[in-house]
Structure 1
Amino acid sequence: CHALRRHFPHRPEMHVVHETVYQTLYVQGRGQLRRELAGALRSGRARRRPHRQANCRQPRFTDPMVMISERPAEAAERAVPGHWEGDLIIGKDSGSAIGTLVERSTRYVMLLHLPTDHTAASVRDALTQTAQKLPQHLKRSLTWDQGAEMAAHRSFTLATDIPVYFCDPASPWQRGSNENTNGLLRQYFPKGTDLSVHTREHLDAVATQLNRRPRKTLGWETPAERLHKLLTA
């Protein structure tokens, strides 16, 4: 388009913008002619890819999210126990799942039993049931990604008094402890397997094994030892 203006500066009928070219190729072109014309483009696409506009993005959940930037500083510093990271391990055919909870300062692990589905209601109920086992001073916050399974985050907070903070899109490092733990859990629950075959008791046994495993990041203490030390300090 710019070349036409340069070569024909005094012939405005030869001046076109790039949108005119695309409209001619993608809207007016038909059949074999359209394929041949589109093939001449640098991208070679037979169909035009629509542009996304950030201001037209639909809200992720009905209840507004509170982003990780609003999370208390003590959670980032890992000095106070009770701030958790959460995620899902998905099983074969995206049916069954296991929820993973990791306490940030101690790396203590708790697992959620989700043998049939991982809908927002199922995840909320499993989270609520697990959180009710915790003492009040270990219920400070939960950080999760923006997965659809957390659509019921508001009702979880109302039931447990635990605020939920959401990571930025495509930022798994904001839940680094959880990502690392999920890697360890894949030794027990390989990708592509049916997670519904594992009982709640088996999940508890696996969590116990991880909580008794010495961690370099904890100075070779175990998560269970570090949690006990913080709770009795």
Structure 2
Amino acid sequence: MLVTEVNEALPGGSSLLRNEPVQARSSARLTGLLDAAAAIIDEIGFERLTTAMVAERAGASIGTVYRYFPDRIAVVEALALRCIRRLAERVDAAVVEAGITDWHDTVDIAIDTQVAMYRAEPGFRAIRFGDVDTSDRSTPSDDVEPRRTLAELYTAVLVERFGLEATDELAFAIDVATEAGNALVARAFARDPEGDPRFIEECRSVVTGYLDRVAASRA
């Protein structure tokens, strides 16, 4: 797969973690903490999430939470990272399985996959990619190693699967398209738990139209 992880929870070597899980049991424990956080966030939002809530829901001690995460913000960031990785992996797998040869179809797959995760992935709706409040972190975000954004992962899919040239211009275009797409899909689910189909279809039109114009201008 395009994106690899050493366990279900987080990619290896992530500095979001105080301690890297090295055994199956500790990896399962970490996954359980993130699953618990996702369930709580679905119920009350990430603003009210506490490490004590995560520990109680996961059936773990508060010390277990702090073994892996320095604070509640790190838990939210880790969950967001997991969501981004899962989304990108599922898009890439769907592209390969369907034998897609046209990047336009990849846009549809990306939107369909994101919509499906909004409907079914715990905690997904509440996560705002790249928009986590770090004002109460004890460790500045600048101390965390750069993590690949969803746009960067999508760019990697296009480069690897369609042989596009990995340029700054392509990366910027995918970044813009991803931001617009994320905003429209989020709006689709703001009041409708199944997603307002009007916003979802407009998302396809906006993202594809923008990328078509970018491609045409560079032809």
The TM tier, using the shorter chain, reads: under 0.3
With normalisation by structure 2, the TM-score equals 0.24
Q: Which has the higher strand share?
A: 1
With normalisation by structure 1, the TM-score equals 0.23
